[in-house]
Structure 1
Amino acid sequence: MPVLSDLPVEVLLDNLLPWLAIPDLLHLGETDRFFARLCNDETFWKRKLQEDFNFTDERTARISGWKRLYRGLRNPKTYVWGEASKGRLGLKKIPKSIINDVPFPVELKIESGARIVNLSAAGTAFFALDSDGSVYVWGTLSGTSFALNNDGYSEPAKPAHTPLKLDMPSPTRSISCGRFHATTLDDQHHVWTFLSWGRPFRLATPALDATSSDSTPAQVESGWHFSSVLTKSGDVYIWWPFAAPLKDVITARDAAMDAANQKAHATEDGVIPCSTWELHEEPTMLPPLPQLPQLLVSSTEPVKLVKLAALESRLIGLTNHGHVLSISVESDLAVRSGRWEYLPNFSEVEKVQQHPAYVSSQLKPPRSLRISHISAQFQTFVAYSPGSSSVVLLGSHETHADSRPSILPALQNNDVISVVLGDYHYGALTSTGKLLTWGAYSRGALGLGDPATLLPGQPGGYRTEEHKRAAVANGGPFPPAVSEPAEVRFGHGEGQGEKLFCFAVTAAGWHMGALVIDLQVRF
C-alpha cells in the first residue's frame, strides 16, 4: 500500500509542506526520521521565510538557521543607537548617559505593532520594511536643511521623530539608502526613488520594464548621491537625481505639486500619504565587464554581475564566479568614458593567501575562496565569503587593481554573514547572532555601552580612570576608537541580553540599527 513517504521529496517540499499549518508541520516532523529531516530542510524554511514574512537573504551570507529565524520572526525587536540628532533614532525618550546620544542599543517600539524584517540606514534617517511589505521611516531624510512645523513630508528636511508608515501603491521588497535619499524595489518590479518621504517617483523606462531578464530589476543600490539597478541578466543602470538634467525635471515637478498643495501631511494614525509620480527618463547603462580570469574551473555558467555595492562615487560589482570589480560613477561622463576594473587581490585565493596577515601570523589562510557578498558605504567597501572559514576583505574608494585588502584577524574564520559600514564605524554579524563593532566612537555608534559605566581600557570606554573622570565632569571628550572588533550586548538593563539573537544590522553616518529575536520563543 502506497504511503506518503513514497512521493518524491521535491513533491513533498514544493506541494505539500508549504500548505500545512505550523502545528501540523511540526507534528509531521515528529513521526519518523524521514519526515524529521524533511521538515527541517534549510531550503524549505528559507523559502517559507520569504513567502510568509517578506524576508530575503540578499544582503547576508547566511546559509543555515532558517527554521530558528522563522520561529523568532513572529515577534522581532528593533534596536537603534548612536547619534540622536534630527530624530534619527525615532525614540520618544533618549536614555541617560554621559553623552547626549545613545551609546548602547535601545529598543524602538513601533506603535502599529509592525513585524520589522529589514532595516536600512540613511545619513540621518532609517527605513524599515515589515512582513507585509509596508515601509516605516523615522529621522530626517535630508539632514542639511530645515523645515517648518507645518510643512508636509514633501519637504526632505521634515523630521519624523517617531516611526511613520508610507502609503505606497504596492508592497515593497527591498530598500537601499544613500546619504539623503533611498531607492526601493516593489513586488511589481517597479523602482522608486525617494528624495522626500512624501513624493517618491518611479523610474519609467523600457530599460526596466520587466518584460525580459535584461529589463527585470534584481537589486537596487544607492550611493551617496546616485541610484542604481542591477538586472537579472547582469546589466547595470544608474541615475543621479541631485544633478542636472534629472534635478531640473524633479524641481519642476515639485513646483507643480506645491502649487496643487500636495504636501503629504502625516495622518493622526501615523501614515504619510505618498504623492507618487513617474519620471520618464533613460538611465545611463554601465559598460560591459572586461575579460576576466577563470576562477571556477568546473563552472560553465557565463560570467555576469550578480551583486552591487555603492560607495560615495564608485560602484563595487561582484560576479557569479566571485570576481570583485570597481568603477567610478561620479558623473554620467565618468561612466561613459570609464570601465570596470578587476580587483584580483579581493578575488583570487592565491593572492589572498599571500597577504601579510596570513604570511606573518598564526592566522589560518583560506584553502579555497569564492567571494559571495559585498557591501559598501561612503569610502569603505567589504568583500566576504560565508561559513566557518569565512574571509572578510576591506577596501576603500582608493582601491585599485594592485591594492591589497585590509584584513582584521578577528573577522576571519568567524562565520561572518554580514558587514555594515557607517562613516567611520563598522559592524560584522555572525551566523550565531553576535554583532561585533569597531572603528571610531562616533557619538556612541559602536553600541558598546555607556563609557561612564565601562572600566577604563574596555572597548567603548576611556583609556584611563583619569580620562573617564574628566569626561564625566565635563561631558567629553569622546572615548578612543576601537581597533579590535568587540561584541555588542542587547537588552541593556533588561536582564535578557544572552537570550537575544541578532539577525540583521544596518549602519550609516554615526548611528546603527539591528533586528533581534528572542531565542526562547517557541512555535
Structure 2
Amino acid sequence: MPTNIVDVPPEILLENLFPVLPVADLLSLTVTSKYFLFLCSDETLWHRKLKADYNFDGSGTARRTGWKFIYRGLYRPKVFVWGEAENSRLGLRQYPGSRSAGVPFPVQLDIPGANIIKLIAGGMSFHALDTRGNMYVWGTLDGTMYSLHLDGYAAKGKPARNPLKLEMPDPIRSISCGRLHSCSLDIKGRIWNFVNWGRPFRLSSHLLSQPDSEPIQIECGWSFSSALLKNGEVLVWWPTVGALQEEVDTRFQSMDESGVGEAQARNGIIPCHTWTAAVDPVLLPSLPSLPDIAGIGEDFREHPPRLIEIGGMDSMIIGLTNYGHVLRFRGLDHEGAIGTSGWQYLPEFSETARICQLSEFSDGNFELPETIKITHVSAHFMHFSAFSTGSCSIVLQGEIDTDPDSKPKIIPELQNRDIISVEFGDYHNAALSANGKLYTWGSYSKGALGLGDPLTLPIGTPGGFANQAQLNGGRGRPPSVTVPTEVRFDHGRRKSKDRFCFSVTAAGWHTGALVIDLEPDENEEDDKIQFRSEQQQSQDPDSWSTPPIVPQIPARGWGMPFIHRIGFAGRGMHRGQSNRDGASGS
C-alpha cells in the first residue's frame, strides 16, 4: 500500500482521483512539485473536466490540445454574430450604424445568465447550448412562413427577436440544424426534432432500441435529418416531407383544435409542448468493400471499417470511417428517392498516394506526413471538407457534384495550419485553427465574412472594394474573397484586444463564433460602435435589399392557406429554382 500520494501510480491519479477533485485543489497541487505540475496539466484530464463541469467536449472540431486553457476561459465566453440581419437571425437588440448591407463584422450578443459553449447556425436562425444543457434559439426557424404577432412558437414562422430558452424535459448535449428544421440529442440519448420551436417531437422507433443503436451523432442536411449510431450504421428521416410530415401535420392540427401547445414565450422561455412520433427512419445500406488504406493487413480484415463521423448536405451525406475513408451517399431528397443508392468511396480524398500526387502538394511547398489520415469531415448545402490535424494538417474541399474520380479543391492558405474546424454558409466559408485564429473567404453575403465594413476598408483589402470607382458607387457588392483572411473580434474599440476563438458556425448568409478574452476587461465601455434598433436596420435606405420571398401562412384551421407578400429576405426556394443568386440567406 502506498503511504504517500507521490507513490500512487499516475494512472490511478489521472483516472480516478483527479477527475473528482475540485479545480481549486488541482491548482493547489500544481505548486507542490514539478511532478504534480506536469501531471495536473494532462490534456485528457482537462478534457474530462470540461465535459463534466461545463458540458463542453469540443465535438464538431478536431481540437486535441488546449483544454486547460479553454477551461479557464469558459467561465465567461463571449458570443459574436454577424452577416445578414433579416428574420431577426442575429438576435441583436441594437445593430451597428453601418451603411453597408447586413452586419459586416463580429458584434457581441448578450445572453443573460447563460454560459454558451456551443453555437449552431440554421438557415435563418441560431441555436445555442450552455454549460447546463439548456438550449437557446433566436431568429426564425422557417422564414418562408408568415406568423401573426399574437402567435406562439407553435408557428413555424414566428421570429425570436432575441435569444429565448427552450423548456425541454432533459438537458441537451448536442444540436444540429438544417435549412428550416433542427434536431437535438439529450443526455438520455433521445432525439428531438424541431419544425417549430414550441412543439418538438421525439423520434421513436425500434431501430433506436436495438443493441449498439445508441446515437453518437445527429446531423441535419438541407431538408433531412440523420443519426450515426454506435455500431456505425446511419438512420435518415425527413421531418418536412412524406409519412413523418403527415404524422406531424395531423398531430399539430389536433393540438390546434384542442388549444394546447401554443408555446407563448414568457420571461425569456418558450414552454415546449413535447410529444412522440412513432415513425421508423430509413436505415442506409452498409458500407461497401473498402481498401486497406492504412496498410495494417490482418487487423483490417478482422476489424472492418465503420463510420465514425458524418456531414449533411443538400440530399447527400459525407461519411468518414475509422481508417480515414471518405464516402458519399446521394439521393436523399425524400424517402422514395433512395432506391438502389449506396455509399460511394472517394479515393482522391482518402489515400495518401493520391493526395500526395495532387499538383498543389507534389511541388514540395507543403510538409506532408508519410501517411495521411483524414480525421474529420464537415458539410453544408453544396460543399464539404475532409481534413487532418496537427502542424502538417491538410484541408481538402469537395462539392455537391464530387464523384469518385473528382480531385479535391486545395486552398494553399489552409494547409499546414492546424485547422480544427471548417464551416460553410451558402456562399461563404470559415476555418478555425487550433491557436484560436478564425479565417473566412467567399462571397460578401450581407457581411457574413466578418472582415469589416467595405465602405471603410482600404481599397484592395479583403472584404473591401477592388477600386475607387466601386467604393464611390457605395452600393455594389464587394468582390469575393479568395484567400482565407483573419477575422478580428475587436471592431469598434479604441484599443485593440487579443481574443481567442474556440468555436465557429456558419449557414445561410450569417456566421457566429464563441470567443475567450486573452486580456482582462479593464474597460468594457471602451466601445465606440454606434448602434441602432432592428427596425432602423431593416428600414435603412442605404442598405442593399433583395427580392422578397412569398411566405405561406399555414392554414391552422382556416381552410385553404393563402399567400401574403412580405419583405422577408431568404431564398425560400429549393436548389435550382430561379432566384438562386438573387435572395439572401438560406
Q: Aligning the two structures, in what range does the TM-score lie when normalised by the shorter sequence? A: over 0.9
Work out whether 1:180 is the aligned partner of 2:183. Answer: no
Q: In the TM superposition, what is the alpha-carbon distance from 1:521 to its structure 2 partner?
A: 5.9
Partner of 2:579: none
Q: Partners in 2 of 1:281 and 1:495 — Cα distance?
A: 56
Partner of 1:280: 278
Partner of 1:9: 10
Q: Partners in 2 of 1:396 and 1:438 — Cα distance?
A: 16
1:244–1:334 Cα change, 3 Å = closer
Q: Partners in 2 of 1:447 and 1:517 — Cα distance?
A: 17
Partner of 1:72: 73
Normalized against structure 1, the TM-score is what?
0.96
SS in 2 for 1:469: helix
The partner residue of 1:291 within 264, 289, 292 is: 289
Structure 1 residues 360-375: aligned runs within 5 Å? 360=363, 362-375=365-378
Q: In the TM superposition, what is the alpha-carbon distance from 1:374 to its structure 2 partner?
A: 0.5
SS in 1 for 2:162: strand
Partner of 2:461: 458
Partner of 1:124: 124
Q: In the TM superposition, what is the alpha-carbon distance from 1:365 to its structure 2 partner?
A: 4.0
Normalized against structure 2, the TM-score is what?
0.86
Q: Partners in 2 of 1:425 and 1:31 — Cα distance?
A: 50
Contact 1:94 1:101 in 2 (8 A): no
Q: In the TM superposition, what is the alpha-carbon distance from 1:479 to its structure 2 partner?
A: 0.6
Contact 1:366 1:391 in 2 (8 A): no
Q: In the TM superposition, what is the alpha-carbon distance from 1:396 to its structure 2 partner?
A: 0.7
Cα deviations across residues 94-141 of structure 1 (Å, max 9, x unaligned)? 111122410000000012x20000011000000000000000000000
Contact 1:264 1:272 in 2 (8 A): no
Contact 1:353 1:366 in 2 (8 A): no
Contact 1:287 1:336 in 2 (8 A): no
Partner of 1:25: 26
Q: In the TM superposition, what is the alpha-carbon distance from 1:265 to its structure 2 partner?
A: 3.4
Contact 1:98 1:451 in 2 (8 A): no
Contact 1:201 1:278 in 2 (8 A): yes
Cα deviations across residues 228-272 of structure 1 (Å, max 9, x unaligned)? 001011010000111111111111111001112224334431100
SS in 1 for 2:47: helix
Question: What residue ranges of structure 2 are gaps of 5+ in the alignment?
Answer: 522-586
Partner of 1:137: 137
SS in 1 for 2:95: coil
Partner of 1:166: 166
Q: In the TM superposition, what is the alpha-carbon distance from 1:12 to its structure 2 partner?
A: 0.6
Q: In the TM superposition, what is the alpha-carbon distance from 1:151 to its structure 2 partner?
A: 0.5
Contact 1:394 1:405 in 2 (8 A): yes
Question: What residue ranges of structure 1 are gaps of 5+ in the alignment?
Answer: none
Partner of 2:195: 195
Structure 1 residues 370-385: aligned runs within 5 Å? 370-385=373-388
Q: Partners in 1 of 2:476 and 2:223 — Cα distance?
A: 32
Q: Partners in 2 of 1:496 and 1:20 — Cα distance?
A: 39
Amino acid at match of 1:482: V
Partner of 2:316: 314
Cα deviations across residues 398-446 of structure 1 (Å, max 9, x unaligned)? 0010000000000000010000000010000000000000001101000
Q: In the TM superposition, what is the alpha-carbon distance from 1:496 to its structure 2 partner?
A: 6.1
Contact 1:88 1:124 in 2 (8 A): yes
Contact 1:72 1:521 in 2 (8 A): no
Partner of 1:326: 328
Contact 1:311 1:379 in 2 (8 A): yes
Contact 1:73 1:115 in 2 (8 A): yes
Partner of 1:223: 221
Partner of 2:92: 91
Structure 1 residues 108-507: aligned runs within 5 Å? 108-111=109-112, 113-209=113-209, 212-213=211-212, 215-298=213-296, 300=300, 301-328=303-330, 329-360=332-363, 362-471=365-474, 476-495=475-494, 497-507=496-506
Q: Partners in 2 of 1:122 and 1:320 — Cα distance?
A: 28
Q: Partners in 2 of 1:518 and 1:438 — Cα distance?
A: 24
Cα deviations across residues 359-393 of structure 1 (Å, max 9, x unaligned)? 35733444321111110000000000111011100
Contact 2:242 2:334 in 1 (8 A): no
Q: In the TM superposition, what is the alpha-carbon distance from 1:495 to its structure 2 partner?
A: 4.8
Cα deviations across residues 315-358 of structure 1 (Å, max 9, x unaligned)? 00000000000011223233341110000000011101111212
Q: In the TM superposition, what is the alpha-carbon distance from 1:37 to its structure 2 partner?
A: 1.1
SS in 2 for 1:484: strand
Contact 2:242 2:335 in 1 (8 A): no
Amino acid at match of 1:126: F
Cα deviations across residues 143-178 of structure 1 (Å, max 9, x unaligned)? 112100001101110000000000000100000100
Structure 1 residues 38-53: aligned runs within 5 Å? 38-53=39-54
Q: In the TM superposition, what is the alpha-carbon distance from 1:90 to its structure 2 partner?
A: 0.1
Cα deviations across residues 448-472 of structure 1 (Å, max 9, x unaligned)? 001111000000000012211210x
Contact 1:489 1:497 in 2 (8 A): no
Q: Partners in 1 of 2:368 and 2:19 — Cα distance?
A: 41
Q: Partners in 2 of 1:521 and 1:55 — Cα distance?
A: 23
SS in 2 for 1:24: helix
Amino acid at match of 1:306: I
SS in 2 for 1:337: coil
Percentage identity across aligned positions? 48
Q: Partners in 1 of 2:231 and 2:506 — Cα distance?
A: 29
Amino acid at match of 2:304: P
Contact 1:60 1:417 in 2 (8 A): yes
Q: Partners in 2 of 1:286 and 1:135 — Cα distance?
A: 29
Amino acid at match of 2:471: K
How many residues were matched structurally?
A: 515
Amino acid at match of 2:175: I
Q: Partners in 1 of 2:441 and 2:101 — Cα distance?
A: 21
1:496–1:42 Cα change, 3 Å = farther
Amino acid at match of 1:133: G
Amino acid at match of 1:389: C
Contact 1:349 1:366 in 2 (8 A): no
SS in 1 for 2:242: coil
Q: Partners in 2 of 1:373 and 1:521 — Cα distance?
A: 34
Partner of 2:537: none
SS in 1 for 2:19: helix
* Cα RMSD (Å): 1.5
